[in-house]
Amino acid sequence: MLQSNLAYKLPLTEEPAHVASKDAKLSFVHVVVAFFAFLIGILGGLLQGLARGGIIELPAWLGYYQILTAHGVLLALVFTTYLIFGFFFAGMSRTHGAFSDRLRKMGWAGFIITTIGTLMAASMIIANEASVLYTFYAPLQAHYIFYSGLALFVVGTWVAGAAIMAHYFQWKKEHPGEPTPLFGFMATATLILWVVAGLGVAATVLGQMLPWALGMTDEINVLLSRTLFWYFGHPLVYFWIMPAYMVWYLVIPKVIGGRLFSGSLARLAFILFLLFSIPVGFHHQLMEAGITEFWKYIQTVLTFVVVVPSLLTAFSIFATFEQTGREQGGKGLFSWIKKLPWGDVRFFAPFMGMLVFIPAGAGGLINASFQLNAVVHNTLWVVGHFHLTVGTTVILTFFGMAFWLIPVITGRRLTKSMNRSGMVTTWLWTIGMFLMSGAMHILGLFGAPRRTAYTTYQDHPQAMSWFEGIFASHITVAIGGVILTAAGILMFYNFIYLAWFAPKGETEFPMTPDPDDTPHTPALLENWKLWIGIAVVLILFAYTIPIYDMIVNAPPGSPAFNNLIR
């Protein structure tokens, strides 16, 4: 049969699939906030695409850069972060046992602080006092409440992350000498990455932008602020991708009826992400004056090292697919592919995300190559790349995750109709992104800039050609955006149904059985002091001298620019 495991009919697990009820509530509130932010974010994206394509004209009270900021912040930061933490709280309860009351209270405190920060930042975006885009680049200046909200958002996630990591290390203390469950290991690696990376954005927000917005300083060191942002901004991408990888490594093998190919290989990949995804921010600043070629070269080399754990992941996951397909009777070179559950949205949505990650990763290598970056820098190519990596690979994986995570934490079941709805959602999202992101890539090669509203540059022939092509056209971008919006609204409906209206019942938290090599896991892979120490050394090597030079030999500071975005 084409499907070995339907979404609504799971094989028996080797251990009880259980998330403590109190932990499930904490997970659920994170998921709820995530999907309401998602709905608002995709509607903002629809308006943005239609306005940039010249199809509609926004009313005077609604600014293009206002909705662009809301779209980026709500989808790329709020939706992803809340869903990741909801996933982590449920998964840690499932694999490491229920949280203690003290740690659970820490989790709730983190949620409350993060939500207060989210509301503060969002209120300023709505009031058009923070139309500074997702990157909030200086010298564009937002209201001080926006920066305060960002700071609280980051601090809140640190508090919640501390609760999760403390739960992990408590398990290690109670089980000396045992390899920790892969879920806890991977979640801890992801959170350490998040905390260390967050120091950069906290430093620029608290040390530069907030005093600047409060009028305590008249100017800001733009080069330093952008460097600190990208110290955070690139590992932020891996903060999104690593939980998606966790679904690929830990959940998908169970969904397809198998087990992970190698636990040691998975641990090594996450360690490499921790080491090499932070000291690489300069590849976002290859066209930035004030950073010497030597340091750009160093961080470019480190950027290409990050490709290694992604290749390890590709090998491990597809080896898992083939191993499982052959165990279920697949013969020949490729016939095992037929044994995979193509009609199960929990597998199909993440799998489509995996496929898209192939061209997305290739585009990332182009962005990080100095000569090629000079061609695509600050064009729509970069936006198209971002929508492939985060907007497709991560989002589709999170969609697939939602179809089992929400029933697990609400005590409901995934029905046949919901599975079909999820399949339709996946196809719509994939088709819409193919049109939108594909057109963005080509328009970028033709010179269409990013971060701009609708304009024909006084009917310049080059700019007019961006609206006249069949595929390489802003109109195609808008059409893709419409299809994506339809998929997003359908996904929000799926969320509402699964959260409150699906039939009551028990749903398994799918988790791969321990890989065969688990008893032989090298103890070195769980030596966190060693890996954190190496990560710190790499960061200091890559950033100390450049940042020192930016401070001691600071370029002229810039005054605030805010009248251009009102």
pLDDT, one tens digit per residue, over 464-480 is 989 988 888 999 999 99
Q: What share of the chain in percent tops pLDDT 90?
A: 70
Task: Specify the pLDDT at position 6.
Answer: 42
Place of tokens 């890996």: 531
What is the DSSP-derived secondary structure letter of residue 1?
-
Higher pLDDT, 348 or 513: 348
Tell me the per-residue pLDDT of 408-440, one tens digit each, with 9 for 90 and over: 999 999 999 999 999 999 999 999 999 999 999
Tell me the per-residue pLDDT of 486-499, one tens digit each, with 9 for 90 and over: 999 999 999 999 99
Q: Characterise 559 by phi-psi region: left (phi > 0), alpha (psi -120 to 50), beta (else).
A: beta
Helices 80-96 and 222-246, packing angle to 10 deg: 40
In 65-213, the DSSP E strands lie at: none
pLDDT at 84 over 60: yes
The beta-carbon contacts of 206-211 under 8 Å, at least 24 apart in sequence, are 206/151, 208/138, 209/136, 209/138, 209/141, 209/142, 209/147, 210/144, 210/147, 210/148, 210/151
Task: Specify the pLDDT at position 1.
Answer: 31
Residue 111's pLDDT band (cuts 50, 70, 90):
very high
Tell me the per-residue pLDDT of 5-29, one tens digit each, with 9 for 90 and over: 343 343 333 444 589 999 999 999 9
pLDDT at 3 over 50: no
What residues are paired with 449 via a beta bridge?
A: 379
- From residue 249, alpha-carbon distances to 12, 147, 237, 508, 541 in Å are 19, 36, 18, 17, 32
Tell me the per-residue pLDDT of 336-359, one tens digit each, with 9 for 90 and over: 888 889 999 999 999 999 999 999
519: helix, strand or coil: helix
Q: What share of the chain in percent tops pLDDT 70?
A: 96
| Top mean-pLDDT range of 137-151, 365-379, 462-476 | 137-151
Residue 316's pLDDT band (cuts 50, 70, 90):
confident
Task: Specify the pLDDT at position 261.
Answer: 82
Task: Specify the pLDDT at position 427.
Answer: 98
**Under a CB-based contact definition with an 8 Å cutoff, are residues 180 and 248 in contact?**
no
What is the DSSP-derived secondary structure letter of residue 429?
H
Q: Measuring CA to CA, which residue among 92, 83, 517 is closest to residue 267?
A: 517
Let me know if residue 259 belongs to a domain: yes
Tell me the per-residue pLDDT of 443-464, one tens digit each, with 9 for 90 and over: 999 999 998 998 889 989 998 9
Let me know if residue 168 belongs to a domain: yes
Tell me the per-residue pLDDT of 232-273, one tens digit each, with 9 for 90 and over: 999 999 999 999 999 999 999 999 988 888 888 889 999 999
d(CA 341, CA 3): 4
State the CB neighbour count (10 A cutoff) for residue 561.
Answer: 12
Task: Specify the pLDDT at position 5.
Answer: 39
d(CA 302, CA 290): 20
**Under a CB-based contact definition with an 8 Å cutoff, are residues 213 and 141 in contact?**
yes
Concatenating the DSSP letter of every residue in 273-292 gives HHHHSSTTGGGG-TT-TTS-
Least confident of 144-153, 180-189, 317-326, 406-415: 317-326
Mean pLDDT of 126-130: 93
Residue 134's pLDDT band (cuts 50, 70, 90):
confident
Residues labelled as active-site residues: 234, 238, 385-387, 450-451
pTM value surpassing 0.85:
yes
* Dihedral sign from CA coordinates of 139, 140, 146, 152: negative
CATH number of the domain within which 326 lies: 1.20.210.10
Q: How many CA atoms lie within 13 A of 167 on its CB side?
A: 33
- Give 514-538 as a 3 state SS string: CCCCHHHCCHHHHCHHHHHHHHHHH
Let me know if residue 561 belongs to a domain: no
Mean per-residue pLDDT of the chain: 90
Let me know if residue 30 belongs to a domain: yes
Residue 107's pLDDT band (cuts 50, 70, 90):
very high
Least confident of 140-149, 195-204, 505-514: 505-514
Task: Specify the pLDDT at position 516.
Answer: 76
Task: Specify the pLDDT at position 497.
Answer: 97
Residue span of the structural domain in which 539 resides: 21-453+460-552
Let me know if residue 393 belongs to a domain: yes
pLDDT at 323 over 90: no
Task: Specify the pLDDT at position 65.
Answer: 93
Mean pLDDT of 310-339: 84
pLDDT at 4 over 80: no
Let me know if residue 334 belongs to a domain: yes
Let me know if residue 559 belongs to a domain: no
Structure tokens at 247: 């679904």
Let me know if residue 566 belongs to a domain: no
Count of structural domains within the chain: 1
Percentages helix, strand, coil for the chain (3-state, rounded to 5) are: 70, 0, 25
Q: Measuring CA to CA, which residue among 141, 130, 137 is closest to residue 216?
A: 141
Task: Specify the pLDDT at position 16.
Answer: 44
- From residue 79, alpha-carbon distances to 39, 395, 413, 536 in Å are 9, 10, 23, 29
